Structure 1
């Protein structure tokens, strides 16, 4: 066992070691494990062949001890030097009576005890008596007082923790979205940039017609110039003058014809009068 301890320590000082796994290193008693391992928190001695816990060291920070599959029948009082021990596994050992368990009743931090495949589990009212003997216990053979398995409870706690964490993260994300950094408006645009854009818009309005308007005006002028042809204007003017002359001629002809008709009418009247006078003279 001593050589295995040196190997598992990996060259560290005993006070620097927090975990030792010494499974299957054959020994009947504790050998090489000393009080120098003051910071050891987890120790596993599965299937070592231990028959006694004599010389078990004082380990003030030890929290988990696994002594499964050994030949231990008693001597649990040697664990009194481990006041922080919270989990103890004695499964598949030679624990036969409740009296043997009285030796660990002073371990006030002991929350989990495993006696699976020990003879003591066959006595009447085994679970009820063990919980009465060790009231600090929460788990016996992996099951609590209500009959709930330890793994199921741990899963429920993990799920509850994950759900709580997700809710907190969601709340933090919402807070981050609601917060607007200094110097930015509600849409994340810098306030100074927004003011500059407003100033630029005002300047463009004050400067009068823009380049687009001037370019449009030039295009209109060019189109008008392209449509203009001097020869066409002269022809139009000549046509207008001819039309005016024709109108004048029509007026002249109109007036001349009317005068001629009047003269012919008067002439006919004179002829009629002359004929009438001549007729009277003949009578």
Structure 2
């Protein structure tokens, strides 16, 4: 996608004067120059042109409010004079990954009185001896070069160059808290399992007692039946014995009756 079309899409029905940040990374520039950018972007404060094939920044429009300019991973080798002329309030400039070879190519940046941060990572100029000392001497207005000041102190968050270590600590703290909560959950699960196990044991014991009670009741019934049978047998035996006695006594009774009859006849 070419730069003009990309700018049109980024506007999203806004006017250029409404835009404060414009990111055109990885689009295509014709002839190695910017196109579609105009002075109508009067309120633009942040412009990113990373990896768009720029050879020069000579046709940049005048952007009086621009503070941060990203030009990394292009093919710029010089002609930086226009930056002080067109971008007088620039505070952050990223030229890392370009074709800058000599300290002298950076001399036009002296006119950028508000420039606080300059990045030249992966530029050949960084391989020169005493590179940092030379740049700080050439550009005394600089606070940070490649993210560090003259005393090798890293740039602060307010300069947008460093990730906040406190955020990492907070995240680690949150992870630890999450871990502790998980441990508590696991302990709760263990307690629940133990309680369930105890309930199962108690239920099993109650079932066994019920079974024993039922067996005991069955045994008692069997005993009662046996007692009833014994009583019945004894009663029958007594009846049979009585009948036998009657049978034995009946003939005698008859003889006695006969004798009584004879006496009556006499």
Match of 1:4 among 3, 6, 13: 6
Q: 1:153 to 1:3 in 2, by over 3 A?
A: closer
What is residue 139 of structure 1 aligned with on the other side? 144
- Whether 1:118 and 2:123 are equivalent positions in the alignment is yes
Q: Distance in 2 between matches of 1:53 and 1:18?
A: 20
Q: Tell me what 2:47 maps to.
A: 43
In 2, Cα distance between the equivalents of 1:140 and 1:127? Answer: 7
Deviation at 1:118, TM superposition (A): 0.3
What is the rounded CA distance, in whole Å, between the counterparts of 1:13 and 1:153 in structure 2? Answer: 29
Who is 1:85 aligned against?
A: 90
After TM superposition, the structure 1 = structure 2 runs for residues 1-283 of structure 1, keeping only pairs within 5 Å, are 1-27=3-29, 28-80=32-84, 81-150=86-155
**Consecutive unaligned residues in structure 1, runs of 5 or more:** 160-283
Q: Deviation of residue 156 (structure 1)?
A: 11
What does residue 248 of structure 2 align with? none
**Distance in structure 2 (CA, Å) of the matches to 1:19 and 1:153:** 18
Q: CA deviation at 1:83?
A: 1.1
CA-atom RMSD in angstroms: 2.0
User: Aligned partners of 2:53 and 2:157: how far apart in 1?
Assistant: 32
Give the TM-score, by structure 2 length: 0.57
Q: Name structure 2 gaps, 5 residues minimum.
A: 167-266
SS in 2 for 1:99: helix
Runs of 4+ off more than 2 Å? 151-159
CA deviation string 1:234-272 (max 9, x = no partner): xxxxxxxxxxxxxxxxxxxxxxxxxxxxxxxxxxxxxxx
Query: How far apart are residue 152 of structure 1 and its match?
Result: 7.6
Q: How many angstroms apart in 1 are the aligned matches of 2:21 and 2:146?
A: 23
**1:14-70, CA deviations, whole angstroms, 9 ceiling, x for partnerless residues?**
111101000000111110101111100000000101111121111000000000000
Aligned-partner Cα distance in 1 for 2:164–2:119: 21
Number of aligned residue pairs: give it. 159
